Amino acid sequence: MNKKIPASIIRQIFVVLALLMAAVLIIYEMLPYLGGVLAAVTLYVLLVPAQRYFEKKGWKPWIAATLLLVVSIIVILLPIAGLALMFTSQIKDALANSDQITEQIKSQIVQIEEYVGFDVIPAIEGDQVKSTLSYVFSNFASSSLTIFIAVGVMFFILYYMLVERKTWQNATLRYLPLKKKNIEAIGKESIDLVKSNAIAIPLVAIMQGAVALIGYYIFGVENPFFWFGVTVIGSMIPFVGTALGIGPVVILLLAQGNTEAAIGVLIYGAVVVGSTDNLFRLIVQKKLADIHPLITLIGVVIGVPLFGFIGLIFGPLLISLFLLLIKIYKKEYGDRDETI
């Protein structure tokens, strides 16, 4: 006797497939702005204690959230916008003087090659330098609209997360198919990791940038605050570090014929700035969550290509949550006699 599939099961499968298709479509369309969504989550974790404090003082939720958004714009967006303007100005100047800069660099390289007796760097053509700079500038300009929309998405989501945080929390408890204690464990782990990375990474980068800024002043580097910003950004990028700022400074000083200053910046960057990294991280992470360096390394390698710059925070979080879910699975479904 042939058994028919119940109509209720067919309807359930249809609904699940429709939900999956809709979810895939939404995620696909939101991918360019995923960084904004994750940035909103990061800021929410950092700002929600202040939101609770203001509400306890009798402030209306929307007033407190608006104030926190304004503070976020002043503290985060304005410095980034200023750095972007400086970056644009420097690229334009480099494009205008690319031939002169190239000739200066080539003359210094010739002197070095005469001294060491072999070719140090292949021939550099002015047109190559100009085309490279033009490519960087055009990419920066074309991505500005996407960045602008992502920032708008970030603040829009952040506002409603702060104002309606209890609704979000209740929905999480209701719809996640986990026990309440496991959801709370995931929440605590996530909050600790987001706080640690969102505070520690920029703070260590700013400290290193400040140390580099002192060196830029000592050796008479032009536009020291611009290079301070570049060094800070580089310090937050794995496998690149402060070399992103110090390397170009050394090249520019060599191009200007200021060999002594170039050597001084190179030594200062390698010895002084480089040695402060572990020191600052040790000081900062003592106050925050202790994350294993291997988790941070693997997380960043995975997170940056997947999420963009915000992957510096959410890459390690992804790895940590993966390990935490393994623990939860082991507790709920593993051998009761075994410990993990």
For 48-71, the pLDDT digits (tens) are: 999 999 999 989 999 999 999 999
Neighbours of 215 (CB within 10 A): 21
- Mean pLDDT is lowest, of 9-18, 46-55, 214-223, 296-305, for 296-305
Task: Return the closest-CA partner of residue 241 out of 280, 191, 214.
Answer: 280
Task: Return the closest-CA partner of residue 276 out of 208, 200, 197.
Answer: 208
Mean pLDDT of 61-87: 84
d(CA 246, CA 265): 7
Tally the C-alpha atoms within 13 A of residue 177's C-alpha that lie toward its C-beta: 1
What pLDDT score was predicted for residue 9?
81
Mean pLDDT of 20-44: 84
- What tokens appear for 98 in the block? 């690319």
What pLDDT score was predicted for residue 255?
74
Contacts 24+ apart (CB under 8 A), 78-86: 83/226, 83/229, 83/233, 86/223, 86/225, 86/226, 86/229
What pLDDT score was predicted for residue 114?
60
- pLDDT for residue 338 is more than 60: no
Q: Where do the domains of the chain lie? A: 32-175, 178-334
Does 30 or 156 have the greater pLDDT score?
156
Give tens-digit pLDDT for 136-154: 555 555 566 677 787 888 8
